[in-house]
Structure 1
Amino acid sequence: MTPYLRLRSTSEADDSEKALLDSHGLGIQESLSFMSIYSRDALDMIFTWSPAAFIVAALCIFILSFLPGDLDQKCTARMFHWSPMIETFKYEWTSLDPSVQSVYTSPPSDEVEAAWDELWNYGAIGIDDDKVNLLNKSNEVQWVHLDSDKPRYGGKIGALYEGYHRLHCLSLLRQYTFKDSYDFSDRRFWYQAPDVLFEHVEHCIENIRSIIHCNADVTPYLIERDLHSDMHHMRLNLNKSAKCRNWDNIMRYGRENTLPVHFAGTAE
């Protein structure tokens, strides 16, 4: 049989507690009075310091909400439309110097065209119908939905990313300047009739102009003396630092999350 210890009776507990109080020279009334005073002091301290503790905690939360990594995401969400890609954005400070030559400024070649294609030539994405309002659009429009046999995109609204579209426009303008010296007939969009292609070029000019106006950069370019010229002419120092979205991440997202489309705009 499992042994159990007998609990003290109430009278035994009262006797032992009274003996403990007596040993400290306190009667029951004095002890109750002492405990009452102690409780009031504790409550006074709680009510005195609780508001201050609450303010300090709220201030800490407020400061933490503006830590750099989180602030970038908050600003992006506040300043731009919703996008499936928006949470993947990573920002970094970059030096921009247009005087530096790159493959993108070289004359057309297979290598150059491939480099440009890698920047922008990706497919469509699928947008859920309940996200349309986040783009300031309406479901009253007859949007094109992607084929339902694509598990990841099926039934969703087809869409393209604007950043890729702008780079396509810039690439098309670049190609158009070389149209008399390089054969682009096998390149995307060059199958169009000359007048349709020219309208496409005009559209791209307007697209780039409008976005430059919308995102007007007011960074001052400083004027410097060109010490390498005989006359020490003045020139703009176009080298600047800027906080940019990491385009490598954007290209990686395009490779992993888009669906190829036909030139006519229908999903493959």
Structure 2
Amino acid sequence: MEDAEEGKPFLPNDYTPAEIVRDTRSLRRRLLDWAWVFSTAIFASLSIFLYLRSTRIATYERGFSTDLDALKSQIQLHQVRFTGGLELNETGKLHRIIDPRQPQYVGPPAPEIDAAWDELMLALDLDLPLKESEDVRWTMKGEENDKYRVSLDMYHSLHCLNAIRRALDSDYYEPGVEHPYFFRLHIDHCIDYLRQGIQCSADLTPLGYEWNEEYQVPFPLFKEKHTCRNFDKIKSWAMERIPAERKEHIHSHSHPIAQRQD
């Protein structure tokens, strides 16, 4: 009786060696499946986190990937009501709204207007150290060998706007000069460049209208505030990096372009 009992398995459900191998492989397969699911979930979560983080950082207020990295910390937003809008005065005459406390940049040629533009354009060209210009792919050496010549696009746009302003009174600024082909080419470049800049920034500030009895047409109102980057704050940063030549006088903006050789 004891011999018969000894020949039986210790427990009815004891596994045979083949069953143990099969179940071990099955367990390993399940563990691998769960590991794959877990790693996929982690990867997806990380991707979503990085995407949300990048979209949160890349904003008008924080700066975009195309903005100069060294300047992003200087970006500050504020609201501004533009001057220069058109309205009718008490006599029904159309006039331009100005702020007498601010420099005037348009009007018949005058030394005060030219001086305002000269002051505005002082930071047209910058000499930046390598650390501040690493994200600038195409440029040339500055006055100092360890610095690179860079312009902020807003200054190039202002340069273009000033060129158009001067072209309106070319007889005053260049009396007796027969304008070469480059003059028209330059102005065409500036107009088209400013067009693209306006489309790129796409200011969505709404303009309302009011009915004008004098002209019997809807007339736009220029009373809404715009959300702007603080130009003065950016200008202060730029003024600390102007080349020595810029401190003496306003010079030509045209420079040969070459790929940086580090």
Q: Same fold (TM over 0.5)?
A: yes
1:234 and 2:218 correspond: yes
**Which of 193, 199, 204 is the equivalent residue of 1:218?**
204
Query: For 2:63, what is the secondary structure of its paired residue?
Result: helix
Deviations 1:84-105 (A, max 9, x none): 3332222211112432236112
Task: Please list, as runs of the form range in 1=range in 2, the aligned pairs for 1:40-55 lying within 5 A after superposition.
Answer: none
Equivalent residue number for residue 246 of structure 1:
230
What CA distance in whole angstroms lies between the structure 2 residues aligned with 1:168 and 1:220?
A: 27
Residues 242-251 or 105-114, more deviating: 242-251
8 Å contact kept, 1:120–1:164: yes
1:204 and 2:190 correspond: yes
Equivalent residue number for residue 101 of structure 1:
98
What is the TM-score with the length of structure 1 in the denominator? 0.56
Equivalent residue number for residue 165 of structure 2:
174
What CA distance in whole angstroms lies between the structure 1 residues aligned with 2:181 and 2:239?
A: 33
Task: Please list, as runs of the form range in 1=range in 2, the aligned pairs for 1:64-103 lying within 5 A after superposition.
Answer: 75-78=61-64, 80-99=66-85, 100-101=97-98, 103=104
What CA distance in whole angstroms lies between the structure 2 residues aligned with 1:201 and 1:256?
A: 30
1:121 CA drift (Å): 3.3
**Which of 127, 130, 133 is the equivalent residue of 1:128?**
130
What CA distance in whole angstroms lies between the structure 2 residues aligned with 1:127 and 1:192?
A: 41
Could you tell me the percent identity over the aligned residues? 22
1:216 CA drift (Å): 1.5
Residues 97-106 or 208-217, more deviating: 97-106
Amino acid at match of 2:63: A
What CA distance in whole angstroms lies between the structure 1 residues aligned with 2:233 and 2:178?
A: 32
Deviations 1:99-125 (A, max 9, x none): 223611221111111101211233322
What CA distance in whole angstroms lies between the structure 2 residues aligned with 1:195 and 1:74?
A: 38
Q: Sort the Cα spacing of 1:101 and 1:113 in 2 relative to 1 into closer, same or farther, 3 A.
A: same
Residue segments in structure 2 that go unaligned for 5+ positions in a row: 1-55, 86-96, 257-262
Equivalent residue number for residue 113 of structure 2:
112
What CA distance in whole angstroms lies between the structure 1 residues aligned with 2:155 and 2:224?
A: 24
8 Å contact kept, 1:145–1:156: yes
Q: Which runs of 4+ in 1 moved over 4 A?
A: 70-74
Deviations 1:35-94 (A, max 9, x none): xxxxxxxxxxxxxxxxxxxxxxxxxxxxxxxxxxx9898843346423433322222111
Q: Give the structure with the higher percent helix.
A: 1
1:230 CA drift (Å): 4.0
Amino acid at match of 2:231: W
What CA distance in whole angstroms lies between the structure 2 residues aligned with 1:91 and 1:212?
A: 18
CA-based RMSD: 3.3
Q: Sort the Cα spacing of 1:249 and 1:240 in 2 relative to 1 into closer, same or farther, 3 A.
A: same
1:207 CA drift (Å): 0.8
Query: For 1:125, what is the secondary structure of its paired residue?
Result: strand
8 Å contact kept, 1:120–1:251: no
Q: Sort the Cα spacing of 1:74 and 1:171 in 2 relative to 1 into closer, same or farther, 3 A.
A: closer
What is the TM-score with the length of structure 2 in the denominator? 0.57
1:203 CA drift (Å): 1.1
What CA distance in whole angstroms lies between the structure 2 residues aligned with 1:207 and 1:127?
A: 28
1:167 CA drift (Å): 0.5
Residue segments in structure 1 that go unaligned for 5+ positions in a row: 1-69, 186-190
1:183 and 2:179 correspond: no
Deviations 1:163-206 (A, max 9, x none): 111101001101101112x1347xxxxx9962222211111111
8 Å contact kept, 2:128–2:147: yes
8 Å contact kept, 2:61–2:77: no
Query: For 2:79, what is the secondary structure of its paired residue?
Result: strand
Q: Sort the Cα spacing of 1:199 and 1:157 in 2 relative to 1 into closer, same or farther, 3 A.
A: same
